[in-house]
Structure 1
Amino acid sequence: MDWKQIIDKYYTDNDELKDILIRHSRAVAEKALSIAEKHPELNLDTTFIEEASMLHDIGIIKTDAPDIKCYGTEPYIRHGVLGAEMLRTEGFPRHARVCERHTGAGLSFNEIVSRNLPLPHMDLLPETLEEQVICYADKFFSKTRLDTEKTIEQAEKSVAKHGEEGLKRFCKWKEMFE
């Protein structure tokens, strides 16, 4: 099964949301792939980057975010862990890690506990270079302005809203990937 078949399996009756998911994910994939191309010394797995970028937000269908056509019941912040469950069920554990670790600039155990987030009490931080590149690329695209890439300054401002830890990770990635 490829990423298209997985999306088709879960997004059968909400074409608007499917379009948002695919357009957002394609923008993330293209940015992540351009980073890989710009940095051959990182020896990134570009096939995986494309697949995982296209699937990183698959869990949004289970969340309650009507402004982006999500009519599920879960809090939006859980879309990553929900997507990870979906992809593990489909036999894609490596892709599942990207789902659960891309929220914000990743979330540490301390951030989850101190902010009382409805997430598992564990580090949900991107670890592999591929996970980090996808997480970084994702910060440049929203699901409400699908055709607009944020500037680095706009992405930093957005990440900073959620705390200093995430901003530090984002700035480290900026040095690595730009």
Structure 2
Amino acid sequence: MEDIRWKKFKLYGDYNVDMRSLYLAWATPGGLEKWFLRKADFFTVPQRLRTCDEQISKEDTYEWHWHGYDNTVVEKGQVLEANGLDLIKFTFTGGSTVTVSFSTRNGLTIIDLVQENIPQESDPEKNLLVQCQIGWTFYLANLKSVMEGGKDLRNKRVELVSCFK
């Protein structure tokens, strides 16, 4: 019997930032590039490249590039939901899906991130649940740092990447 505990995780973060600003940080190419990606390209169904501040839509496809890697390393996927207000869902690495929902509580904006349908891997170094959970934890913290204080915590120095592998 398959152990479903290794197929899904949930993280959350609280932000002293208005919900609209946080949603746009996830829902526009320029927003994602401020805290998450080196380059975020989104394409409409007719394959038009979205502009930096244009909101993504359901059925858009994407090509993401990470700091510390050249352009041959690319994450490709599709936007499954983007309601313009409080929900974004997209395909992600290994055929998994990520759902990001936004709400407010006690004057704070809360982001809930769920990654599910994660394929199981016998090699611990390739375990997507562990690697993605570590990655999302960092990026949710970086989102908080960028949005609340303006400090970007990402390593953008390619010459240091080999130190971390």
Shorter-chain TM-score: which interval?
A: 0.3 to 0.5
Structure 1 length as normaliser, TM-score?
A: 0.31
Structure of higher CA gyration radius: 2
Higher percent of residues as strand: 2
Q: Which structure has more RCO (C-alpha within 8 Å, separation ≥ 6)?
A: 2
Structure 2 length as normaliser, TM-score?
A: 0.32
